[in-house]
Amino acid sequence: MDDSLIPIVVVPTALFLIFVAPMWLFLHYRSKRQVSQGLTDEEYQELTQLSHQAEKMAVRIETLESILDAEAPQWRAKQ
């Protein structure tokens, strides 16, 4: 290998190993730890709330559909 190519290869490799690799490893294992811990209490409460809202919306949609079926029986054919 030519002596002028050594700094071109060594400097970027050293910079990568000193700055990029540790940060990359830190972020990787932090995200793995967060995934393995599961939902936090706040996330669980939010998920429960969203589930209740979805159930309420389903009931409202069924009610609206029954009203439309009674008042305008052909409304489904327009879709």
HEC string for 51-73: HHHHHHHHHHHHHHHHHHHHHCH
24 contacts 32 by C-beta, under 8 angstroms: no
In this predicted structure, the answer to whether residue 2 has a pLDDT above a threshold of 80 is: no
DSSP annotation of 18 reads: I
Contact between 55 and 62 under an 8 Å Cβ cutoff? The reply is no
Using the predicted structure, report yes or no on whether residue 78 has a pLDDT greater than 80. Answer: no
What are 29-64's pLDDT values in tens digits? 998 887 878 888 898 999 999 999 999 999 999 999
